[in-house]
Amino acid sequence: MSWTRSARAVLAFTLLVLLHYTIRPFLGWRTPVDFLVIAVLLSAVRVRPGAAALIGFCTGLVADSLTPSAFGAGALAMTAVGASASWLKAVFFADNVVLHGFFFFVGKWAFDIVYVTAERRMHGVELATQLLLWSPLSAAATAVAGVVLLLMLRPVLEPQAA
Amino acid sequence: MARAVRSGTRVDTVLLVACCVMALLATVLPLNLREAIAGGLRRTVVAPLVSLQEQAVRGRSAFLSRDATTSRLDSVALRNMQLAKLETENERLRALLGLGRELQWGFVSAEALRIADIGEEHSRTLTVGSRVGVEPKTPVIAPEGLVGMVRTVDPNSSIAILWSHSDFAASAMSADRSAYGIVYPHLSESGRDAEIPPERYLLEMRGVAFRSALKPGTLIVTSGLGGVYPAGIPIGTVLGELRTSEGWARTYLVRPAVRPPDVSNVIVLLPKRIQGQSLDRVWRSTMSADSAARRIAAAGDSLARRAAVDSMRAVEAAAVRRAADSVGGQPARPGGTRPPGADTARRAPPRADTTRPAVRRPDAPRPGTQP
């Protein structure tokens, strides 16, 4: 990956992190869009699995610093999602919007499953409701937002060759 | 090539395992250690993001509370608008109290309620009746002057007609007693002369002798003739002369002293108060009551100021006394500084049998000075 492409990817990543800490709390939805997952997924498909795991770990740790009670759960979930996305990137290299949307949906849902399990705070019906109702809804919102952002950021992430 | 790929895969695996192990370790760390690491991150790397999040949350709260804030602002503005009305009402009630004080006896105060029926806009229901001595044809007055008279009386309420009622009539005179006439409501819808202000509610003073010319602005009061209204109650002021076909008497247009919309609290004069007593002195006193009230308020303010100054002086004196005590015999000068070196000078400890020198009060006359 050239320096220019790296810089562009870093810019897009930073932008998504900023959106996570501005748009998300401002909207305050019950099923929030997870811009951090989108950022990790978009970065993961551009680097090797080890680097993707590291990116996921660091991003998760940053997110966990605001929720000390679940400290580590976000890092673990982001590591898993980032590494998995990097290993499976060949599947998603196809320039298909629907596939990208599915990619974001699965990524966010997987993140929630790992996070909630590692957090060990919810049990029984509450856990089931979270994983089978709110998490898919949040994943859907994340997928939609991810697709929209991908279309908007495409000139930055994949510049057309002259 | 194959070896490089294998090596890269091994590095990836090691990194992934290391990250997973560290993340798992983070989940099982003691709470204080987790809090310490999280706090460190929040204070350093994540600090800008935390600030952004706080601002976003604040923005959302402001956005959500916008409607509530707007409605609160509206209600405050509404209350502010009502304040002027309340001030006016307060002034009227105060004036009514002043009038009652001047009358001293033989009256009852009442609330005048508007009658909602069509055609009854010139009448009011009073909240007093025959139980407190109200009778038909007793006058109803306000601090500004004559309001009307009681027409029908029930035990606990009565109905009064205002001066604007078509049945109203009162014997009147100019305040200097130079002209007499009868005052009626001015029933014409529009003014007949261009110079007369187009006011809806006006009075006419009819039957004034031709030789008695009244200037605009002349005060018209009740004359006491006829036995219904005692003499001296202000009715209004002359606006100008009306041209009529009668050549032997003049008719004047009178601006009423009391505006019907202002009639809310009134005084009903009881029959025993009406008989043979002029009330013009009452209104002269009432007119000066407002200025007297202002003088009293000003005097109260000056008293409060003086009390505040006295208390300040007392506090100052107490402080000076305390300072003198702490110095131990060195009387401090009020408002001044201690002599240089007072803190550092070594002094012999005071003997038990010695008395402390008297501390001079700041307001006490200086020795040797004439008061």
pLDDT tens, position by position, B189-199: 554 444 444 55
Give residue A62's pLDDT.
92
pTM of the model: 0.49
Q: Which domains does chain B have, with CATH numbers?
A: 91-290 (2.40.10.350)
pLDDT band at B119 (very low <50, low <70, confident <90, very high): low
Determine whether B188 is exposed, middle or buried from the number of CB atoms within 10 Å of its CB (0-12, 13-18, 19+): exposed
Read off the pLDDT of each residue in B203-224 and give the average, rounded to a whole number: 88
Best CA proximity match to B110, nearest among B276, B313, B270? B270
Backbone angles phi, psi at B216, to 5 degrees: -60, 135
**CB distance A49–B16 less than 8 Å?**
yes
Best CA proximity match to B257, nearest among B179, B181, B162? B162
Read off the pLDDT of each residue in B33-53 and give the average, rounded to a whole number: 90
Q: Which residue of chain B comes nearest to A14, CA vs CA? A: B49
Read off the pLDDT of each residue in B35-54 and give the average, rounded to a whole number: 90
Give residue A73's pLDDT.
92
Q: Is the pLDDT of residue B22 over 90?
A: yes
d(CA B36, CA A143): 34
Give residue B286's pLDDT.
57
- Decide which of B120 and B204 is more confident: B204
Q: Residues for chain A: how many in total?
A: 162
For helices A97-119 and A135-157, what crossing angle results, to 10°? 130
d(CA A132, CA A78): 20
Give residue B122's pLDDT.
83
**CB distance B20–A64 less than 8 Å?**
no
**CB distance A25–B56 less than 8 Å?**
yes
Substitution target from A26, A48, A81, A84 for chain B, most B beta carbons within 10 A? A26
Q: Which residues of B touch A48 (CB under 8 A)?
A: 8, 11-12
Record the tokens describing residue B171, joined without a space.
């014997």
Least confident range of B158-162, B215-219, B307-311: B307-311
Q: Is the pLDDT of residue B366 over 80?
A: no
- Inform me whether the C-beta atom of residue A113 falls under 8 Å from chain B C-beta atoms: no
Q: Is the pLDDT of residue B222 over 80?
A: yes
**Which residues make beta-bridge pairs with B266?**
B110
**CB distance B52–A71 less than 8 Å?**
no
Asked casually if ipTM beats, i.e. exceeds, 0.90, the reply is: no
Q: Rounded to a whole number, what is the distance in Å from the CA of B87 to chain A's nearest CA?
A: 45
Backbone angles phi, psi at A74, to 5 degrees: -65, -40
| Buried b or exposed e, range B33-49, using 16+ CB within 10 angstroms | ebeebbeebbeeebeeb
Q: Which residue of chain A comes nearest to B55, CA vs CA? A: A22
B149 and B168 Cβ atoms separated by less than 8 Å: yes
Backbone angles phi, psi at B183, to 5 degrees: -100, 130
Q: Rounded to a whole number, what is the distance in Å from the CA of B302 to chain A's nearest CA?
A: 56
How many residue pairs bridge chain A and chain B with CB atoms within 8 Å of each other?
A: 114
pLDDT band at B312 (very low <50, low <70, confident <90, very high): low
